[in-house]
Amino acid sequence: MISLRLANDRLVVRQMHELKKQIPLLYALLCVNAFALTSTHYAVAPAWMTVGVLLVLAAVCTVRSIWWLRCDIEAMTPAEIRRLLARTNALTAVITLGFIGWAMRLGFYGGAEQQAHVASFVAITVIGCIFCLMHLPTAALLVSAIVGVPFVLYYIPSGNAVLIAIALNTLFVILVLVRVVLNNFKTFVELIDSRATLAAKQDETQRLMEENVRLAHTDSLTLLPNRRHFFQRLDEAIAVFDMQGAAFALAIFDLDRFKAINDTYGHVAGDRVLAETGRRLTAFAGECVVVARLGGDEFGVILLQTHETREAVEATCHRICEALRQPIDVGETVVSAGCSSGVAVFPEAGRTAAGLFDRADYALYHAKEKARGGVTLFSPDHEDAIRSERAVETALQISDLEAEMEVHFQPILDLSTDRIVMVEALARWTNPLLGRVPPDRFIAAAERCGLIHKLTLLLLRKALHDLKRLPDEIGLSFNLSSHDLTSPETVVSIMAAVRRSEIPPTRITLELTETALLRDFDLAQRSIQALRALGMQIALDDFGTGYSSLGYVHRLSLDKIKIDRSFMADIADTSGRSIVATVLDLSQNLSLDCIAEGVETPEQLAALRRLGCRFVQGYLIGAPVPVDRLERLWQTDAPTAALA
Ligand code: C2E
Ligand code: CA
Ligand code: CA
């Protein structure tokens, strides 16, 4: 059992430590006892047996003690220690044999007192040795056997009752001590075992804790660090760079077509796109580049190279965008998710994590709006824009919108009859403080500050009210914000407002942009179905500016497509014409009406006529005007292309 236990590495190391403390003491004890014996036999025994042996013994004990005192246990392997312990056992046997032999031999000299000294020397020394070798029981047992047995055998034939009594008594003490040593060693082994178990438990707890921290900071899908980690590193960067007075950059990367991919090819494909994006981003990570998934299809990068100029930061972000833009195999097909980036540089764009992140987010928003697929660095111009956007938001919140909002109407002409068949309602806001605010600006502001629901319904009510002043055959086209379609509450309110107006829903077309579908395709589609069920029609506005693939349009229940006005500029040349021709073909194939927006010149109108486009809208036909001006038009009985 003992040898088995010895196999335990931790145990042998501990044994060695204990022995290192005790063996030098053991040698000291041997020397002192030997000196005492020598001194009582000096006069009666030959000098070589007293002083001679003492000197040799002292030399051996000194050398061995020095070795023990100087040995470096930490530098030894358990195997080496095991070899040393075996050697210690052997040496113990040799020294013990020498000692007992020497003592017995000295027993021949001197009188009864000297003989009694020999007996007590052997008894005391053996007890001392056994104690000192407590942590190496094999050695303690060897000492006990080598001393105990010859000791008794040596004295019994002497017939000296005192010496026999000492010998038997010593033997008995040795036996008891052996028992004590074994018990003690067992406890020692158990202690080492329990310490080892405790240490293992502590290691495991430590490992679990570290794993927990890692998991809490990792995104499970992409295995990139997560938002929490990102903001922690951002805070650290701000603290360090603030002290150094240096600059660093924070960039947000957002996939342009992730929602469409997810909606079209399913979540598995979407997950693959995110995982691959994560893998590609990891290639950029390093000591000075922190990458993380912030959530959804948004990724964050912190560029900590202090020496980098704005141009270098921009170039790095372009490289990242380029990498993320590369096609991704999602199993059934290969997709390109596209990527835009917004960047803010510390400290000019912001000194706090929230401030800096907001600025990068704002720059991203601009990239999406104005330079899709590109990188936008936050600039002082953006700061001004933010300030004026805030002014618009504040004005929206405190103004009397009912009084300040107005709806203008722009006619839509049917080229097959040359008559106006519809009007598009366009919101107009004149604020006492800000003056005229363009609708795209205040609509976006209303979306940001949560006022869009209220504003849409207010404008719809006004538009429906004004529509009553126009002939019954004139339809109304009304713009919805992307937030409206994904808010079931707004959709229900729209239906209620139409019902209350008593205008047939069939007269009404709701225009929506692709952004609404990108926000939440399923919810948007459900809203579309509900509105169509009531008899209203749905038009996809600004077609061609977004990323609508033809298949994507097909999946929606649409009635109309409005070709964005940006295509009108090029309609005179071949390539521009062919794009419009393709969209017209598509709408015909899908049985959708097609309206060309932004028609400004007779040449554009002529080109559209030639291409077979039926509905047109633009300054050439008529600019947006208040309802009374439109009303007058019908009163003059010439509601044709003479409005502008
Ligand atoms: P939109 O729906 O694409 O509206 C057409 C925009 O083009 C209008 O700008 C209109 O005045 C302008 N436009 C019309 N004909 C021409 C033309 O021949 N050439 C040029 N260059 N432009 C022309 P507006 O009124 O400034 O509205 C801008 C955008 O604001 C609208 O774009 C629409 O997205 C949004 N908006 C306007 N009113 C509302 C509304 O009541 N609700 C919502 N949600 N959005 C609205
Ligand atoms: Ca529109
Ligand atoms: Ca439009």
For residues 41 and 551, which has the higher predicted lDDT (pLDDT)? Answer: 41
Ligand 1 centroid–CA 240 distance in Å is: 48
Nearest CA to ligand 1 atom 8: 426
Q: Which residue of 424, 426, 465 sits with most ligand 1 atoms within 8 Å of its CB, as the best mutation to test the pocket?
A: 426
Interior angle at CA 585, CA 583 and CA 586, nearest 5? 65
Q: Which of 120-129, 181-190, 545-554 has the lowest mean pLDDT?
A: 545-554
Examine the pLDDT at 233 and tell me if it is beyond 80. yes
Contacts of 321 (CB under 8 A, 6+ apart): 253, 339, 340, 341, 373, 374, 375
Q: Which atom of ligand 1 has the smallest separation from the CA of 617?
A: 15
β-strand pairing of 289-295 with 298-303: antiparallel
Q: Which atom of ligand 1 has the smallest separation from the CA of 599?
A: 18
Examine the pLDDT at 281 and tell me if it is beyond 70. yes
Nearest CA to ligand 1 atom 42: 479
Average pLDDT of the residues in 361-376: 88
Helix (H) or strand (E) holding 587: helix 574-589
Nearest CA to ligand 1 atom 7: 598
Nearest CA to ligand 1 atom 22: 598
SS3 135: coil
Side chain identity at 185, as an amino acid letter?
F
Nearest CA to ligand 1 atom 35: 440
Nearest C-alpha neighbor of 125 from the set 157, 103, 156, 93 = 103
The answer, yes or no, to whether the previous bond of 347 is cis (omega within 30 of 0) is yes
What is the predicted pLDDT for the residue at 549?
57
Ligand 3 centroid–CA 539 distance in Å is: 10
What is the predicted pLDDT for the residue at 413?
97
Examine the pLDDT at 427 and tell me if it is beyond 70. yes
In angstroms, rounded to a whole number, what is the distance separating the alpha carbons of residues 291 and 252?
A: 10
SS3 621: coil
Nearest C-alpha neighbor of 366 from the set 385, 388, 350, 391 = 385
Ligand 3 centroid–CA 597 distance in Å is: 6
β-strand pairing of 615-617 with 593-596: parallel
Nearest CA to ligand 1 atom 34: 440
Examine the pLDDT at 372 and tell me if it is beyond 90. no
Mean of pLDDT over the chain: 90
In angstroms, rounded to a whole number, what is the distance separating the alpha carbons of residues 531 and 537?
A: 8
Residues, the chain: 644
What is the predicted pLDDT for the residue at 3?
42
In angstroms, rounded to a whole number, what is the distance separating the alpha carbons of residues 629 and 28?
A: 121
- In tens, the pLDDT along 404-414 reads 999 999 999 99
Q: What is the DSSP letter of 476?
A: E
Report whether 272 contacts 330 (CB < 8 A): yes
Ligand 1 centroid–CA 523 distance in Å is: 25
Ligand 3 centroid–CA 41 distance in Å is: 123
Ligand nearest to the CA of 562: 3
Q: What is the DSSP letter of 428?
A: E
Q: Which atom of ligand 1 has the smallest separation from the CA of 459?
A: 41
Ligand nearest to the CA of 440: 1
In angstroms, rounded to a whole number, what is the distance separating the alpha carbons of residues 233 and 286?
A: 13
Residue with tokens 């998710």, as numbered in its chain: 337
Nearest CA to ligand 1 atom 15: 618
Ligand 2 centroid–CA 399 distance in Å is: 25
Examine the pLDDT at 13 and tell me if it is beyond 70. yes
C-alpha distances in angstroms, 405 versus 158, 242, 396? Answer: 131, 47, 10
In angstroms, rounded to a whole number, what is the distance separating the alpha carbons of residues 399 and 405?
A: 10
Ligand 2 centroid–CA 443 distance in Å is: 12
Average pLDDT of the residues in 122-130: 90
Q: What is the DSSP letter of 76?
A: S
Q: Which atom of ligand 1 has the smallest separation from the CA of 438?
A: 26
- In tens, the pLDDT along 449-501 reads 999 999 999 999 999 999 999 999 999 999 999 899 999 999 999 999 999 99
Ligand 1 centroid–CA 419 distance in Å is: 21
In angstroms, rounded to a whole number, what is the distance separating the alpha carbons of residues 335 and 327?
A: 5
Ligand 3 centroid–CA 623 distance in Å is: 14
Nearest CA to ligand 1 atom 10: 624
What is the predicted pLDDT for the residue at 638?
54
C-alpha distances in angstroms, 188 versus 208, 539, 616? Answer: 30, 86, 97
Examine the pLDDT at 1 and tell me if it is beyond 70. no
Residue with tokens 């040593």, as numbered in its chain: 181
SS3 338: coil
Ligand 2 centroid–CA 479 distance in Å is: 5
Ligand 2 centroid–CA 564 distance in Å is: 9
In angstroms, rounded to a whole number, what is the distance separating the alpha carbons of residues 38 and 32?
A: 10
Contacts of 211 (CB under 8 A, 6+ apart): none
Cβ neighbourhood burial of 473 (10 Å; 0-12, 13-18, 19+): exposed
Ligand 2 ion: nearby residues, β-carbon < 5 Å: 479, 511, 541
- In tens, the pLDDT along 164-203 reads 888 889 899 999 999 999 999 999 988 888 888 888 899 9
Examine the pLDDT at 641 and tell me if it is beyond 50. no
For residues 574 and 157, which has the higher predicted lDDT (pLDDT)? Answer: 157
C-alpha distances in angstroms, 480 versus 296, 491, 494, 510, 513? Answer: 25, 10, 10, 7, 8
Q: Which atom of ligand 1 has the smallest separation from the CA of 542?
A: 3
Report whether 128 contacts 147 (CB < 8 A): no
Q: pTM score, two decimals?
A: 0.61
Q: Which atom of ligand 1 has the smallest separation from the CA of 484?
A: 44
Report whether 274 contacts 536 (CB < 8 A): no
- In tens, the pLDDT along 338-352 reads 999 999 999 999 999
Ligand 1 centroid–CA 426 distance in Å is: 6
Q: Which atom of ligand 1 has the smallest separation from the CA of 452?
A: 44
Ligand 1 centroid–CA 447 distance in Å is: 17
In angstroms, rounded to a whole number, what is the distance separating the alpha carbons of residues 427 and 459?
A: 7
For residues 555 and 288, which has the higher predicted lDDT (pLDDT)? Answer: 288
Ligand nearest to the CA of 542: 3
State the maximum Cα–Cα separation within the chain, in Å, rounded to a whole number.
157
Ligand nearest to the CA of 480: 1
For residues 611 and 373, which has the higher predicted lDDT (pLDDT)? Answer: 611
What is the predicted pLDDT for the residue at 642?
46
Average pLDDT of the residues in 269-290: 95
What is the predicted pLDDT for the residue at 320?
96
User: Can you spell out the DSSP letters for 181-247?
Assistant: HHHHHHHHHHHHHHHHHHHHHHHHHHHHHHHHHHHHTB-TTT-SB-HHHHHHHHHHHHHHHHHHT--
Nearest C-alpha neighbor of 446 from the set 383, 399, 513 = 399
Question: Which phi and psi (to 5°) does residue 480 adopt?
Answer: -105, 145
Nearest C-alpha neighbor of 481 from the set 504, 505, 458, 500 = 458
User: Can you spell out the DSSP letters for 280-337?
Assistant: HHHTT-BTTEEEEEEETTEEEEEE--TT--HHHHHHHHHHHHHHHHS-EE-SSSEE--
HSE toward the beta carbon, residue 209, CA cutoff 13 A: 6
**Residue 643: band (very low, low, confident or very high) from pLDDT cuts 50, 70, 90:** very low
For residues 196 and 37, which has the higher predicted lDDT (pLDDT)? Answer: 37
Would the CA dihedral through 198, 204, 205, 207 be positive or negative? Answer: positive
Q: Which residue of 479, 486, 519, 541 sits with most ligand 1 atoms within 8 Å of its CB, as the best mutation to test the pocket?
A: 479
Q: Which atom of ligand 1 has the smallest separation from the CA of 440?
A: 30
Estimate the crossing angle of helix 380-398 against helix 439-448, to 10 degrees: 80
Q: Which residues are bridge partners to 218 per DSSP?
A: 225
Nearest CA to ligand 1 atom 23: 598
HSE toward the beta carbon, residue 251, CA cutoff 13 A: 31
> Residues near ligand 1 with C-beta < 6 Å?
410, 425-427, 438-440, 443, 459, 479-481, 511, 541-542, 565, 598-600, 618-619, 624
Examine the pLDDT at 287 and tell me if it is beyond 70. yes
- Which stretch, 226-235, 264-273, 366-375, has highest mean pLDDT? 226-235
Nearest CA to ligand 1 atom 32: 440
What is the predicted pLDDT for the residue at 148?
87
**Residue 637: band (very low, low, confident or very high) from pLDDT cuts 50, 70, 90:** low
Ligand nearest to the CA of 443: 1
Q: Which two tokens stand for residue 80?
A: 């080496």
- In tens, the pLDDT along 487-515 reads 999 999 999 999 999 999 999 999 998 87
Ligand 3 centroid–CA 330 distance in Å is: 33
